[in-house]
């Protein structure tokens, strides 16, 4: 027996031990997760936004989070308040705050909380430490388990050496930043698990197709395609850039087995209904909150010569008097104006409808194209991020949230710098070479898959580099360039050929282990919270290298 011919069953048992240890590690961290104030198991504005929406939906039967974010802890701070919120008029005709996060995942988590809440009688807002921990144990640990098990099975489909397979499973368990994110409610873990499931299904079907060419009959069924389509679409629900991979998954499955297309689309359609349906349920809009950042359609125009000597309150009063003469506001019982930093005004008017008082919003702004300093337009309000005290509109942003001015510096820091994909997780250095090898070798379907992974990696990275300065923030304060985390399953699959090649020599094995160890080091520095700056950023700051 050659040294690589280790029985598959023995390797499987070791893989399962590693997965069990990883899940125990994650569960242990969840069991003690706590915020800086020591009064809630929520770690950042990002997960507070989701938790507040979950609590509001179950405890108040609404997506509006006003009542939840107003709750104060023993130290007087608002436990659930978050910068990741928007404000718009709700179905009751009044202004409310809402989480800015996509609604499908939040609704699914709320479903679990609803069952636990009704079974135990314990509410999250009354037990902000133990209820979030319990929900994370019930949700994140199984999702992490799905990611690890499907990755293990995908790795086993490869023809690599025993050493390569073992190291790839070790990387899945301990060397990606998904492990720190598993202790917090976030979208990245779910997107990665969904991508891993899709990858496994594709490789499984690919193996079956190859077996059928060898004389083994393969009769495709409907439900695997539905599962693949729903998993690929759910990744999009969690990470919008995964839409690019969804399109390629559709092509890959279609080329592999054309009969898979109907089932794939059925699964994707179910998830799409959930995405748009829950969004409309929450916001009475088919567009996500992220898409409400501008000005709506113009509904009226008027002439108003603003006196530059007026103070802001005086100008607001003069404007409301002018607006009262317009047909749009003729039935308004009250009109209020708020000066915006952009130079325009937010208008909030109240109308009596069906015996109830309902509010409506507009934006009044100068018409620069009209060539007149007295030309103004009334447009529908569509900037949900502009509200009193908004972190995103009132100059409160600081640190990485200010955005990186240089695209070159941004690209460097996102790859080899303080937030680097390769500097923080050196095992990914093998990914480009692995993809090149896979694109040129092996069965046609595997070459297509490698080409799709390479294309999506480049497209997604280029998309983030091309974003405007305000969005070039590395994903905010987090332990890595988190927007690319959902690609981790595809990158692990991509590094297997290089691990296989390195297994043939002692020096190669030592280098592979060193890359793995360096990646595990970065993960270990982040286990207390994924919502902190990377260790490289903190060390560079300590040395005074950062301005």
Tell me which H or E stretch contains 521.
helix 506-524
Say if 56 falls within a structural domain.
Answer: yes
* Domain containing residue 104: 34-125
Say if 335 falls within a structural domain.
Answer: yes
User: Is it the case that residue 351 has pLDDT exceeding 50?
Assistant: yes
Task: Please report the DSSP string for 386-455 in residue order.
Answer: -STT-TTTSS---GGGG--S-HHHHHHHHHTSTT-HHHH-GGGGGHHHHHHHHHHSS-HHHHHHHHHHHH
Q: Which residue, of 125, 140, 167, is where some domain finishes?
A: 125
Q: Across the strands, what pairs with 360? A: 349
Say if 399 falls within a structural domain.
Answer: no
Tell me which H or E stretch contains 179.
helix 178-181
Between 141-150, 190-199, 290-299, the lowest mean confidence (pLDDT) is in 290-299
β 375-383/85-89 pair status: unpaired
User: Is it the case that residue 469 has pLDDT exceeding 90?
Assistant: no
- Please give the average per-residue pLDDT across 517-543, as a whole number: 95
Decide if 458 contacts 209 (C-beta within 8 A): no
For the chain, the domain total comes to 2
Integer Cα distance of 267 and 287 in angstroms = 22
Say if 374 falls within a structural domain.
Answer: yes
- Please give the average per-residue pLDDT across 33-47, as a whole number: 92
Burial status of residue 2 (CB atoms within 10 A of its CB: 0-12, 13-18, 19 or more): exposed
Residue 40 has φ and ψ, to the nearest 5°, of: -160, 150
Say if 268 falls within a structural domain.
Answer: no
- Please give the average per-residue pLDDT across 210-239, as a whole number: 81
What confidence tier does 281 reach under pLDDT thresholds 50, 70, 90? very high
Say if 462 falls within a structural domain.
Answer: no
Give me the percent of the chain exceeding a pLDDT of 90: 74
Q: What is the pLDDT of residue 211?
A: 63
Instruction: Give the three-state DSSP class for 221.
Output: coil
Residue 98 has φ and ψ, to the nearest 5°, of: -140, 155
Angle between helices 488-502 and 431-440 (to 10 degrees): 80
Q: What is the pLDDT of residue 394?
A: 61
For 389-438, how does the pLDDT look when each residue is reduced to its tens digit (9 = 90+)?
888 776 677 777 788 889 999 999 999 999 999 999 999 999 999 999 99
What is the chain's alpha carbon radius of gyration, rounded to the nearest angstrom?
Answer: 26
- Please give the average per-residue pLDDT across 215-219, as a whole number: 57
Q: What is the pLDDT of residue 4?
A: 47
Q: Which residue, of 92, 125, 158, is where some domain finishes?
A: 125
Decide if 527 contacts 180 (C-beta within 8 A): yes
pTM score, whole prediction:
0.92
Q: What sign for the dihedral angle of Cα 44, 46, 51, 57?
A: positive
- Please give the average per-residue pLDDT across 98-108, as a whole number: 96
Say if 216 falls within a structural domain.
Answer: no
Say if 97 falls within a structural domain.
Answer: yes
Q: Which residue, of 109, 125, 141, is where some domain finishes?
A: 125
CA angle 198, 204, 206 (to 5 degrees): 105
Nearest to 92 by CA among 277, 314, 360: 360
Between 15-19, 338-342, 455-459, the lowest mean confidence (pLDDT) is in 338-342
């Amino acid at each position: 027996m050659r040294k690589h011919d280790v029985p598959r069953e023995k390797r499987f048992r070791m893989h399962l031990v590693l997965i069990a240890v990883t899940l125990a590690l994650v569960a242990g961290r969840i069991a003690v997760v706590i915020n800086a104030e020591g009064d809630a198991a929520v770690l950042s504005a990002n997960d507070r936004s989701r938790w507040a929406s979950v609590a509001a939906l179950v405890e108040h039967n609404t997506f509006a989070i006003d009542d939840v974010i107003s709750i104060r802890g023993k130290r007087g701070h608002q436990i659930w308040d978050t910068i990741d919120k928007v404000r718009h008029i709700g179905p009751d005709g009044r202004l409310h705050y809402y989480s800015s996060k996509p609604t499908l995942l939040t609704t699914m988590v709320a479903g679990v909380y609803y069952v636990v809440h009704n079974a135990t009688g314990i509410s999250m807002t009354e037990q902000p430490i133990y209820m979030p921990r319990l929900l994370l144990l019930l949700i994140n640990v199984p999702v992490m388990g799905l990611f690890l098990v499907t990755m293990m099975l995908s790795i086993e489909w490869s023809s690599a050496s025993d050493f390569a397979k073992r190291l790839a499973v070790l990387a899945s368990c301990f060397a990606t930043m998904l492990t720190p994110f598993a202790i917090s409610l976030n979208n990245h873990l779910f997107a990665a698990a969904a991508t891993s499931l899709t990858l496994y299904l594709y490789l499984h079907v690919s193996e079956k197709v190859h077996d059928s060419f060898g004389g083994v009959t393969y009769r495709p069924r409907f439900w695997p395609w539905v599962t693949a389509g729903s998993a690929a679409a759910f990744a999009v629900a969690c990470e919008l850039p995964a839409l690019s991979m969804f399109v390629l998954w559709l092509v890959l499955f279609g080329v592999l087995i054309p009969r898979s297309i109907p089932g794939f689309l059925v699964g994707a359609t179910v998830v799409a209904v959930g995405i748009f349906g829950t969004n409309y349920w929450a916001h009475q809009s088919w567009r996500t909150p992220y898409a409400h950042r501008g000005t709506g359609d113009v509904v009226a125009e008027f002439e108003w010569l603003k006196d530059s000597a007026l103070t802001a309150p005086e100008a607001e009063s003069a404007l409301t008097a002018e607006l009262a003469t317009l047909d749009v506001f003729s039935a308004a019982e009250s009109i209020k104006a708020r000066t915006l930093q952009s130079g325009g005004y937010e208008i909030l008017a109240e109308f009596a409808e069906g015996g109830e008082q309902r509010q409506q919003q507009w934006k009044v702004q100068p018409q620069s194209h009209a060539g007149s300093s007295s030309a103004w337009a009334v447009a529908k309000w569509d900037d949900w991020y502009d509200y009193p005290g908004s972190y995103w509109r009132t100059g409160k942003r600081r640190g990485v949230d200010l955005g990186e001015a240089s695209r070159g510096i941004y690209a460097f820091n996102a790859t080899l710098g303080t937030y680097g994909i390769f500097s923080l997780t050196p095992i990914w250095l093998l990914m480009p070479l692995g993809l090149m090898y896979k694109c040129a070798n092996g069965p046609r379907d595997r070459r297509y898959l490698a080409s799709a992974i390479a294309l999506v990696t480049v497209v997604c990275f280029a998309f983030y580099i091309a974003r405007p300065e305000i969005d070039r923030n590395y994903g905010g304060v987090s332990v890595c360039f988190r927007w690319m985390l959902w690609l981790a399953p595809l990158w692990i699959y991509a590094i297997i050929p290089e691990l296989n090649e390195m297994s043939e020599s002692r020096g190669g094995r030592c280098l592979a282990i060193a890359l793995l160890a360096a990646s595990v080091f970065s993960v270990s520095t982040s286990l207390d919270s994924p919502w902190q700056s990377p260790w490289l950023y903190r060390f560079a700051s300590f040395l005074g290298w950062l301005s």
